[in-house]
Amino acid sequence: MSKPIRIATRRSQLALWQAEHVKGLLAAAHPGLVVELVPMTTQGDRVQDRALAEVGGKGLFVKELEVAISAGRADLAVHSMKDMPAELPPGFVLAAITAREDPRDALVSTRYGALADMPAGAAVGTSSLRRSAQIMERHPQLVVRVLRGNVDTRLAKLDRGEYEAVVLAAAGLIRLGLEHRIRARLSPEESLPAPGQGALGIECLEARADVRALLAPLADRTSALCVRAERAVSRALGGSCTLPLGAYAQWAQDRLSLRSLVASADGRRVLRASAQGDDPEAVGAAAAESLRAQGADDVLRGLR
């Protein structure tokens, strides 16, 4: 292409890393291609004093990047898939999902190596209803408090002693060179990840066949199959990425194995379901139907 390809990105350190990563992948796949970043500050970045669920959800990190694409100020955007709403706006498409990093949640603490080691009343910080519900289910003696901000801000609050521990996505810490801060990687049995956690998605206009062709070599088939199954659970149950909903799929021997859960905000009611198959949308829909049969709709209505 004669014109540079422009990537809309949030200004946070992690978002910029992700955009630079995709820039590097594009440059490797298409030697000579000029790729530029278009950094932006979104509403999700500006509102830091309230939980995301109270101010519109993680879609606040996505919407303004999509506006920039629609207006022609950018050609594509890079997102953490766990931040993506289950339904895209008309005219947009996920052109590629790249190879997934570690999808697990991670415990970071200056004092404790496991949630089970923490004393009653100790404060754990997280911005996620999904994480907080699972922590409260298994460790009701702990106090879960809202923690917002970028990764550096969250770690600084931990280091100042405002929390005894924080739970973050392992992938973000790894990508920022902060893997050494991880005290424990929480197994899916202890903390089921969010749909798409650890994966990057690249969004563009559906009509931009030229951009989609450039992005095609970046797609990772296995990661995409797993993420599609996970997102199908979320879509079937309401589509909000702020719900206390976990979904994690693995692909082996040409078959998907999917685990999912829905929880009440206080962790007192947690519903779990699994499904297997080779079609990601069908597997996700089956897991969602099993959750619904257990009362998922009632649990989720209680959150609204």
Segments making up each domain of the chain, as ranges: 5-99+199-219, 105-186, 234-301
Is domain 234-301 in CATH 3.30.160.40, yes or no?
Answer: yes
Is residue 77 a contact partner of residue 65, using CB atoms and an 8 Å limit? Answer: yes
pLDDT on residue 41: 80
pLDDT on residue 43: 58
pLDDT on residue 52: 45
Q: What band does 300 get if pLDDT is binned at 50, 70 and 90?
A: confident
Same fold, 5-99+199-219 and 105-186: yes
Q: What band does 59 get if pLDDT is binned at 50, 70 and 90?
A: low
Is residue 195 a contact partner of residue 96, using CB atoms and an 8 Å limit? Answer: no
**H/E element, 260:** strand 255-263
Q: What band does 173 get if pLDDT is binned at 50, 70 and 90?
A: very high
> Over 80: is that where the pLDDT of 50 sits?
no
Q: CATH code for 5-99+199-219?
A: 3.40.190.10
Between residues 164 and 47, the one the model is more confident about:
164
> Over 70: is that where the pLDDT of 224 sits?
yes
Sheet containing 76-80: give its strands across: 35-40, 5-10, 76-80, 200-205, 92-97
Predicted TM-score (pTM) of the model is 0.90
pLDDT on residue 304: 60
Is domain 105-186 in CATH 3.40.50.1820, yes or no?
Answer: no
pLDDT on residue 55: 45
Q: What band does 20 get if pLDDT is binned at 50, 70 and 90?
A: very high
> Over 60: is that where the pLDDT of 58 sits?
no
* 68-125 tens-digit pLDDT: 999 999 999 999 999 888 889 999 999 999 999 999 999 999 999 999 999 999 999 9
Q: What band does 62 get if pLDDT is binned at 50, 70 and 90?
A: confident
What's the distance, CA 271 to chain centroid? 20
Distance CA(6)–CA(118), nearest Å, equals 46
CA triple 33-37-43, angle to 5 deg: 150
Is residue 202 a contact partner of residue 76, using CB atoms and an 8 Å limit? Answer: yes
Q: What band does 45 get if pLDDT is binned at 50, 70 and 90?
A: low
> Catalytic residue at 105?
no
pLDDT on residue 144: 97
pLDDT on residue 2: 67
Q: Give the residue ranges of DSSP H helices in the chain.
A: 13-29, 43-46, 52-55, 63-70, 129-138, 151-159, 170-175, 209-215, 221-236, 280-293, 296-301
Choice among 83, 102, 152, 279 that is catalytic: 83
Q: What band does 3 get if pLDDT is binned at 50, 70 and 90?
A: confident
> Over 60: is that where the pLDDT of 48 sits?
no
